[in-house]
């Protein structure tokens, strides 16, 4: 009876396509850990990072994966239910659709894009493939905020292009060209993230008037995979074209029969295995929630003005974690112990519901602002879901700042 009631509760608020949309969102979020766990179950290693822990604790990791996914679904359902409760008291669509993107607002968005692109080159200072991967790590300091700012600004522009009925294939081409500055310096996170946004949009709207079509959706996947793999090869192995084709298999069998190398996915997935192993063997102690919250608040301050702000949790651990990436489920476990995957799942499920509900609004009234709300949960899925939970919080801060800035410009424009 409880199961039937739950199914009715879900169907009452989401149709089949929307349910698939949430499942897709949570699956992308958990993908590195799921693939790593499946390889571990076969008795083989999947990364050169944290090999000691990769075949240990597989049962408990499977349990936490299940909990993260289930509570992610619960978070999405809760988000939809909360929206239903508040939608009658405030017209959300009207409030989000009053901004008319023309004149000063477009100039502001374009200026933000240019400034953040220039900031990217300043923070890198060099072409990644001119040196070994490990030799240029320092030039990535401060890059995250530039990437998020640039991507959000591009989402405003993409939303404007969609609003003007520009062909979807041309918009995908525009996104690829717009990210050439990032790809040239060897960074693919933000490009892949926005391409995932485009794919998610095509999934939700396929069959509607704004549908880009299944062929375009397939091309998005192919283009993203090829570009991501080529950039990954350049970063790790140097600019050697004849060997690129060999790298274009994302999951390659290592010469050692105990290794099924998953490349970046395996490195990210390994971070959760490492955190579980380090905590269960008492090599490290859990981080208290109030302490982590206080440090997160301090780290929201701009690093250029507050150089003494706390460093990442992952950098304080006794071994290299996930090749520099701590998956948000692992960060949740480090902070909250066994309940960590639960509240992190609820959080990301709620983010997924924001994208879903914004997608519903787009079908009623399409504006660049609503599109940004649709895109944002997908935009930070890799940077904040795969590469530390704090990056999500920092991205929310950047989004809020940009919205306040644009709202101020809109207000000043209305006053003149």
Report residue 147 as tokens: 């990437």
Least confident of 117-121, 270-274, 380-384: 117-121
Cα(355)–Cα(378) distance, rounded to whole angstroms? 8
Has residue 107 got a pLDDT over 80?
A: yes
Q: Could you tell me the pLDDT band of residue 263, with boundaries at 50, 70 and 90? A: confident
Q: Could you tell me the pLDDT band of residue 92, with boundaries at 50, 70 and 90? A: low
Has residue 173 got a pLDDT over 70?
A: yes
Cα(197)–Cα(199) distance, rounded to whole angstroms? 5
Task: Give the Å distances, CA to CA, from 339 to 46, 71, 125, 391.
Answer: 26, 11, 41, 20
pLDDT at 235: 62
pLDDT at 319: 78
Has residue 341 got a pLDDT over 50?
A: yes
Has residue 411 got a pLDDT over 90?
A: no
Has residue 272 got a pLDDT over 80?
A: yes
Phi/psi region, residue 324 (left: phi>0; alpha: psi -120 to 50; beta: rest), is left
Q: How far is CA 344 from the centre of its chain?
A: 14
Higher-confidence position of 6 and 80: 80
Please compute the mean of the pLDDT values over residues 264-277 and round it to a whole number: 90
The pLDDT tens digits for 192-214 are 899 899 888 888 876 555 556 67
Higher-confidence position of 129 and 100: 100
Q: Could you tell me the pLDDT band of residue 242, with boundaries at 50, 70 and 90? A: very low
Cα(33)–Cα(273) distance, rounded to whole angstroms? 9
The DSSP symbol for 38 reads: H
Higher-confidence position of 235 and 265: 265
Cα(148)–Cα(171) distance, rounded to whole angstroms? 19
Is 354 exposed, middle or buried (CB count within 10 Å of its CB: 0-12, 13-18, 19+)? Answer: middle
The pTM assigned to this predicted structure is: 0.83
The pLDDT tens digits for 224-237 are 888 777 776 666 55
Report residue 182 as tokens: 């990032």
Has residue 268 got a pLDDT over 80?
A: yes
pLDDT at 155: 92
How many C-beta neighbours within 10 Å does residue 38 have? 15
Query: For residues 201 and 216, is the Cβ–Cβ distance under 8 A?
Result: no
* Closest among 74, 135, 148 to 350, alpha carbons compared: 74
Has residue 6 got a pLDDT over 50?
A: no
Least confident of 116-130, 176-190, 239-253: 239-253
Q: Could you tell me the pLDDT band of residue 11, with boundaries at 50, 70 and 90? A: very low
The pLDDT tens digits for 62-86 are 999 999 999 999 999 988 888 877 7
Please compute the mean of the pLDDT values over residues 108-132 and round it to a whole number: 68
The pLDDT tens digits for 358-389 are 888 888 788 888 899 999 999 999 888 998 88
Domain residue ranges in the chain: 15-415
pLDDT at 70: 94
Has residue 37 got a pLDDT over 90?
A: yes
Name residue, tokens 């109030």. Answer: 290
pLDDT at 246: 46
Please compute the mean of the pLDDT values over residues 91-98 and round it to a whole number: 57
Query: For residues 263 and 232, is the Cβ–Cβ distance under 8 A?
Result: yes
């Amino acid at each position: 009876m409880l199961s039937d009631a739950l199914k009715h509760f879900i169907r009452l608020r989401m149709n089949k396509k929307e349910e698939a949309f949430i499942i897709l969102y949570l699956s992308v979020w958990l993908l590195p850990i799921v693939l790593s766990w499946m390889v571990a179950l076969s008795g083989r290693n999947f990364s050169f990072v944290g090999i000691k822990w990769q075949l240990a604790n597989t049962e408990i990791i499977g349990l936490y994966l299940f909990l993260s996914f289930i509570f992610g679904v619960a978070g999405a359902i809760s988000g939809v239910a909360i929206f239903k409760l508040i939608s009658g008291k405030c017209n959300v669509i009207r409030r989000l659709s009053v901004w008319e993107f023309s004149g000063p607002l477009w100039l502001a968005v374009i200026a933000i894009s240019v400034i953040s692109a220039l900031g990217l080159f300043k923070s890198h200072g060099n072409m990644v493939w001119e040196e070994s991967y490990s030799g240029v790590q320092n030039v990535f300091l401060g890059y995250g905020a530039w990437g998020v700012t640039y991507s959000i600004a591009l989402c405003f522009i993409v939303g404007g292009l969609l609003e003007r009925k520009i062909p979807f294939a041309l918009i995908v081409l525009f996104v690829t060209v717009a990210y050439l500055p990032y790809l040239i310096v060897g960074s693919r996170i933000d490009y892949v993230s926005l391409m995932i946004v485009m794919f998610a949009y095509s999934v939700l709207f396929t069959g509607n008037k704004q549908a880009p079509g299944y062929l375009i959706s397939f091309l998005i996947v192919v283009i993203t995979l090829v570009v991501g793999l080529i950039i990954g090869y350049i970063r790790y192995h140097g600019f050697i074209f004849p060997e690129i084709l060999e790298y274009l298999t994302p999951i390659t069998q290592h010469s050692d029969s105990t290794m099924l190398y998953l490349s970046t996915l395996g490195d990210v997935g390994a971070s959760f295995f490492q955190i579980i192993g380090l905590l269960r063997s008492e090599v490290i102690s859990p981080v208290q929630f109030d302490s982590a919250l206080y440090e997160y608040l301090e780290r929201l301050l701009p690093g250029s003005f507050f150089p003494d702000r706390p460093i990442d949790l992952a950098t304080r651990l006794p071994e290299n974690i996930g090749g520099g990436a701590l998956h948000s489920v692992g960060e949740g476990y480090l902070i909250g112990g066994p309940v960590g995957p639960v509240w992190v799942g609820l959080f990301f499920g709620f983010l997924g519901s924001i994208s879903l509900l914004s997608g519903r609004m787009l079908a009623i009234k399409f504006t660049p602002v609503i599109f940004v709300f649709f895109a944002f949960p997908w935009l930070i899925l890799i940077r904040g879901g795969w590469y530390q939970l704090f990056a999500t919080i920092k991205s929310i801060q950047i989004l809020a700042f940009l919205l306040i800035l644009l709202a101020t410009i809109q207000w000043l424009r209305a006053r003149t």
